[in-house]
Amino acid sequence: MKLLISTLPATGHVNPALPLAARLVERGHEVLWHTGEAYAPQVKATGARFVPYDQAADLRRLPAEPDPGTKGMAAGVSALRKLLIDRMPGQLADYEAILADFPADLLVTDMCAVGAATLRDKGGPAYATLGINPLVTTDPEIPPFTSSRPPATSFVAQLPNRLAHFLTRRVLDPKLRAALDTHRAGLGLPPFPRDRLALDITRSPYLHLMPTTEAFEFPRRRMAPHIHFVGPLLPDPPAAFDAPEWWDELAAHEGRVVHVTQGTVATDPTALLRPAVEALAEEDVLVVATGPDPAGTLGALPDNVRWAPFIPHARLLPHVSVMITNAGYNGVLTALAHGVPLICAGRTEDKTAVSARVAWSGAGLDLRTDRPDAPTLRRAVRTVLTTPSYRAAATRLRTDFATHDAPTEASELLEELATRTG
């Protein structure tokens, strides 16, 4: 089988596909991966062939910038349009050029590669999508993406969700649909089907792979049959890495370890790293902080704090008692796969939805801000470290995740799809 993988060149989009690509290659499939030049080494390490973006926009920053002069919902709509819809013609041009020499049986894309749907409408191969964020749908049980609420279990509790979804259909969808239909008309295609939201184009109607389990996703009465939970797609621990000079101290430490990470997208160290360092300076814990600090914002570190720009989580998390995070989806899933409870402080991208699922699962706290102050973080760390239920919930999720072989399950589903649609 020939597969074309296409992902936005961003860490949170590329990383989940790495173990999948490697497993597909191991199973004898020919895999070509379309993404930005910066990720060529990681792609090639899986055994896949790398092909760079050409016409497709190589966006390094997410989300896309809103249109100048827009605010509120208008700004959000324009950012989504640039992130999703306006990139489609370039993607389509790249796909058609690639397929001229590499007749793929199937495409595998992330949510931003909506050119795959258009290619299918033009007679191209079927495609699957790989989830890179929580599953947010317009089911009445499910809060909107920007909400911290848990899933609604009664009609009254569902009312705010129903209103939010109504506004999505009446305000957000028409604007995205207009942009999508304009591009489709230029390609000689009819308007996008009216029985689907424009945002539905980010999930394949044939197969959508969720890199988690149902234990870490809000339940809903009607789960679409093409959505499959395969478990977290996590990279293998690196055989070697450039360990910081204090690594042996961490490995030998017998007390509690608090890890604070600024993530890979929203990386301002003043948002989380600095207040966490301040909060825990006098606590009886060892603090391991990771993330960029190009301006030396952290300054002189307290005696109980160790810092590095990056440490592979597969190496670090076995030593960690609690993780403070801005709630990037992959980082949260990795922590839970190690049974590490979480303190979430994120509000951009998909981080509100991720934080809500952490709180709902019982595996941590949602601080409902992306700039917590030091006293708030100190109280949160003390709460999680002294309340056994958080560690117990994280351990339950680790056990549930471990029942899945995500790369193999995803590969088998892709093989079935290729057979069914070929």
Computed from CA positions of residues 134, 94, 64, 345, in that sequence, does the dihedral angle turn out positive or negative? positive
Q: Do domains 2-231+404-421 and 248-402 have the same CATH topology?
A: yes
Which residues make beta-bridge pairs with 52? 35
User: What whole-number distance in Å separates Cα of residue 197 and Cα of residue 173?
Assistant: 6
Task: Name 210's Cβ contacts closer than 8 Å, sequence gap at least 6.
Answer: 131, 135, 217, 227, 228, 229, 230
| Residue for token pair 């705010």 | 160
Residue type, 211: P
User: What whole-number distance in Å separates Cα of residue 270 and Cα of residue 371?
Assistant: 8
| Chain length of the chain | 422
Q: What average pLDDT does the structure give for the chain?
A: 93
| Residue for token pair 């509690």 | 256
What was the pLDDT predicted at 241? 84
DSSP state of 239: S
User: What whole-number distance in Å separates Cα of residue 85 and Cα of residue 62?
Assistant: 14
Whether the CB-CB separation of 125 and 105 falls below 8 Å is answered with yes
DSSP state of 38: G
Tens digit of each residue's pLDDT (9 = 90 or more) over 376-386:
999 999 999 99
DSSP string computed for 321-336: SEEEE---HHHHHHHH
Nearest to 320, CA basis, from 345, 289, 346:
289
Whether the CB-CB separation of 198 and 180 falls below 8 Å is answered with yes
Helix (H) or strand (E) holding 106: strand 106-109
DSSP state of 198: G
pTM of the entire structure? 0.93
Task: Name 215's Cβ contacts closer than 8 Å, sequence gap at least 6.
Answer: 361, 396, 397, 400
Instruction: Report the percent of the chain where pLDDT is more than 90.
Output: 77
Tens digit of each residue's pLDDT (9 = 90 or more) over 39-96:
999 999 999 999 999 988 876 544 567 878 888 878 888 888 888 898 899 999 999 9
User: What whole-number distance in Å separates Cα of residue 54 and Cα of residue 60?
Assistant: 15
Dig out the tokens for 399 from the structure. 């056990």
Query: Could you say which architecture CATH assigns to the domain 248-402?
Result: 3-Layer(aba) Sandwich (3.40)
Dig out the tokens for 55 from the structure. 């016409």
- pLDDT category of residue 293 using cuts at 50, 70 and 90: confident
State mean pLDDT over 346-354. 91
- Between the two ends of the chain, the Cα-to-Cα distance in Å is 10
State mean pLDDT over 142-166. 94
Give per-residue burial for 128-139: e unless 16+ CB within 10 Å, then b: bbbbbbbbbbbb
**The dihedral formed by the CA atoms of 196, 201, 206 and 209, expressed in degrees to the nearest 10:** -120
Helix (H) or strand (E) holding 128: strand 127-130
| Domains in the chain: boundaries | 2-231+404-421, 248-402
CA distance readout (Å), 176 to 82, 143, 192, 197: 10, 20, 11, 9
User: What whole-number distance in Å separates Cα of residue 36 and Cα of residue 59?
Assistant: 9
Which of 205-209, 310-314, 400-404 has the lowest average pLDDT? 310-314
Which residues make beta-bridge pairs with 299? none
Number of other CB atoms surrounding residue 102 within 10 Å: 15
Q: Is the CATH number 3.40.50.2000 carried by domain 2-231+404-421?
A: yes
State mean pLDDT over 130-155. 94
